[in-house]
Amino acid sequence: MSSNHYKNASWRLLLILFLALNGCVERESAPSATTTPATGPPAAGPSPSSSQAPEGAAKVAPPLSKINITYEDRKAWREILKWPDECEQAFDYPDKSYGGMEFYQLADKQYLVQIICTGGAYQGYQVYYFYDETKQQPTAKLLNFESRESQDEKSLTEIQTTELWGQPEFDDNAKELRILNKFRGIGDCGILATYRFVNGEPQLKEMRAKLVCDGKGAENPENWKKVTLR
């Protein structure tokens, strides 16, 4: 066989190898079927779960509960109402599921908020707020009550106080608060005060008192002697 024949065969072999290698390079550089071209829309991926908020998204707190308030609810409400430290430090209930708060509706979006400070041996004391949600920014006001106290079991002295000692009872129909302040555990003496609310402000409607602790009259404090109000 001539040398020209070998040369031609060698060139053909080299040409085939060159074409084969060139085709492999082109296939490797070509975009795959699952790759999105840079100029096209982003590849579709799995939708994020509805329970997963995007990183950095604002977290909106749910409305605070006004019923069946727990101790955790109480802590959240204190950040809003900011009742006195003395009251919170006195809150000594061992059951931490109990929040010691009640919301009584006075009008649409307006509430009398009762915050128990302590239960005491037979009665404790509580403070009250007027909480108004009628405005875009709700407002809260610590309430001051007209009351009476006795130092000698003979006479009464008028006082103004934010702390109401006694057993509270709210009348949902009349929108009135009744406080029975016992001078001792058996309840045979003390003061029974009834408050109404005008534009969120408490007004002493009626007061009855029995100053002598003689073992009588505990069953019907509503029959105690009326106190003359100014």
Helix (H) or strand (E) holding 210: strand 201-210
Q: Pick the residue with more confidence: 213 or 8?
A: 213
Residue 145 lies in a domain: yes
What pLDDT is attached to residue 19? 52
Residue 194 lies in a domain: yes
Q: Pick the residue with more confidence: 143 or 41?
A: 143
Tokens of residue 150, six digits: 């006795």
Q: Which of 78, 63, 200, 180 is nearest to 132 (CA)?
A: 200
Residue 35 lies in a domain: no
> How far is residue 15 from each of residues 9, 10, 24, measured CA to CA in Å?
10, 9, 14
Q: Cα(153)–Cα(79) distance, rounded to whole angstroms?
A: 40
Residue 59 has pLDDT above 70, yes or no: no
| Stretch 89-96: mean pLDDT | 86
Residue 31 has pLDDT above 60, yes or no: no
Residue 169 lies in a domain: yes
What pLDDT is attached to residue 62? 54
Q: How many domains does the chain have?
A: 1
Helix (H) or strand (E) holding 207: strand 201-210
Q: What is the pLDDT of residues 139-173, one digit of tens each?
A: 999 999 999 999 888 899 999 999 999 999 999 99
What pLDDT is attached to residue 151? 87
The range of the structural domain enclosing residue 216 comes to 71-226
Residue 52 lies in a domain: no
| Stretch 65-71: mean pLDDT | 93
DSSP SS3 for 96: coil
Residue 179 lies in a domain: yes
Residue 53 has pLDDT above 80, yes or no: no
| Stretch 123-142: mean pLDDT | 95
**pTM above the 0.85 mark?**
no
Mean pLDDT of the chain: 81
Residue 51 has pLDDT above 50, yes or no: no
What pLDDT is attached to residue 44? 45
Residue 155 lies in a domain: yes
